[in-house]
Amino acid sequence: MADSLAAAVAAVQSLIGDRADAWDLARLIPVPLLRELGAAGLLCAQVPTGYGGLGLTSLLGGELTAETGRLCSSVRSVQTSHGIAAWTIQRFGTPEQRHAWLHRLTGGELAAVGFSEPGAGSDLAGMTTTIRRDRDEVVVDGHKAWMTAGHYADLLVLFCRYEGGAAAVVAPAATPGVQVRRIADPLGCRAAGHADVRLDSVRLPADHVLGGVGLPLPLLVTTALAYGRMSVAWGCVGILRACLAAASRHAASREQFGKPIGQHQLVAGHLADLLVAEQVATRVCEHAGRCWDAGSADQVIATVLAKQVSAGQAARAASTAVQVLASAGARDGQVVARAYRDAKLMEIIEGSNEMCRLMLAEHALTLATEEGQ
Ligand code: FAD
């Protein structure tokens, strides 16, 4: 398994290389490269080998995500969306659906996921996109907002109202009635291809509804988002590693007042903070990854904790790293400037800071109640 991770990391390094800043400036990742990453199983590395994936554990898949995030948060964002799509199919699809769709996701087709809507962000209970059954077809109507990788995706996994509950449906992006509109100027992860998607009477075969039946919305979205949170948390570890390396390199080489700035204690303090941030985030992610791999009951809350800690650490650390590089990091095309913009978004997505804090507080109250019994 460790060999599979080493090979996957080497493949990601060779495919992404040092091109993240160029893609960020162009606001585009070359699609053939994304397809190559997908066909090598690198966008959903935890999918079992029987479906063409690499079968990595959560912990090792996390390390691969961190390395992707270290190199390029836009590619990592595409990887997160694609991975959520695969995980949703794996968890909620029938054996036939898993066979049909997962092979496509490990064969070079690209996927994006749609939970959010203009009126339903933090509160997904406000979702209004519907799937309606019509004999052996279903009809999807609604509007999904901010779908990461929506601009690149061949397949859209859409979370919708269905039969008194909810369901995820797989919609090929080329289906009549699907309109993908790219978001032109996102604050960060600028090459991740965010898009708003309108769905007007989109007709699909009924067997595109995963599992075929309505499920409770909280079960569906919590399961899917848990994968996304884990992926984002590891992506933040990658951002932290990139910031730590860039700031340390600069502090060792840039001289002011007759010595490297890293020897001025206030700058040295920034480097210590960056190292602490990277280590803390790594440890909480490793803990959560072990919970996933052990199938522990703590998996969900450990994941929320990992996302909350890592996103906060990444946002603060990226700001610190810009401070260390100062003018050398204060423009587009600089790794810390990109990290600064990308990291901020990590505090918004897959459950904002506030929503994660509310979940953690609820957990704390549950623990207190259990201890009191
Ligand atoms: P709102 O829900 O309007 O919240 C605004 C503010 O109020 C936030 O600070 C929030 O934390 C706070 N708030 C809201 N309710 C409460 C409360 N009860 N208590 C305390 N604070 C509260 N969506 C997808 O479906 N698929 C994607 O691939 C995807 N990718 C994204 C990529 C990016 C870069 C961005 C920016 C967004 C993406 N989203 C995606 C949407 C994302 O999930 C939402 O932006 C997020 O859930 C927050 O929703 P909102 O933006 O509508 O903010």
What end-to-end distance do the CA atoms of the chain give, in Å? 43
- Pocket mutation for ligand 1, best pick of 116, 225, 356 (most atoms within 8 Å of C-beta): 116
d(CA 133, CA 163) in angstroms, rounded, equals 9
Out of 76, 159, 349, 355, mutate this one to test ligand 1's pocket (max ligand atoms within 8 Å of CB): namely: 349
Question: Does pLDDT of 1 surpass 80?
Answer: no
Q: Is the CB of 299 under 6 A from ligand 1?
A: no
Residue 57: the pLDDT is: 97
Of 200, 8, 181, 184, nearest in space to 106 by CA? 8
- Neighbouring-strand partners of residue 260: 255
How large a percentage of the chain has pLDDT more than 70?
Answer: 100
pLDDT digits (tens, 9 = 90+) for 64-112: 999 999 999 999 999 999 999 999 999 999 999 999 999 999 999 999 9
pLDDT at 2 over 90: no
Q: Span 256-280, mean pLDDT?
A: 98
Tell the residue nearest (CA) to atom 3 of ligand 1. 121
Q: Which two tokens stand for residue 236?
A: 């933040």
Q: How many helices and strands (H and E) does the chain possess?
A: 12, 9
| Minimal-distance CA residue to ligand 1 atom 51 | 121
Report the DSSP beta bridge partners of residue 241: none
Domains of the chain, CATH where assigned = 2-110 (1.10.540.10), 112-215 (2.40.110.10), 218-372 (1.20.140.10)
- Asked whether 81 lines ligand 1 (CB < 6 A), one says yes
Average pLDDT, the chain: 97
Burial (CB count within 10 angstroms: exposed 0-12, middle 13-18, buried 19+), residue 139: middle
pLDDT at 201 over 90: yes
pTM: 0.97
d(CA 75, CA 191): 8
Q: Is the CB of 122 under 6 A from ligand 1?
A: yes
DSSP 122: S
CA of 206 to the centre of ligand 1 (A): 30
Q: Across residues 233-254, what is the average pLDDT?
A: 98
According to the model, what pLDDT value does residue 3 have? Answer: 86
Helix H segments across 40-72?
58-71
Closest Cα to residue 33, out of 24, 43, 46, 25? Answer: 43
Task: Work out the pLDDT band at 4, boundaries 50, 70, 90.
Answer: confident
Residue type, 305: L
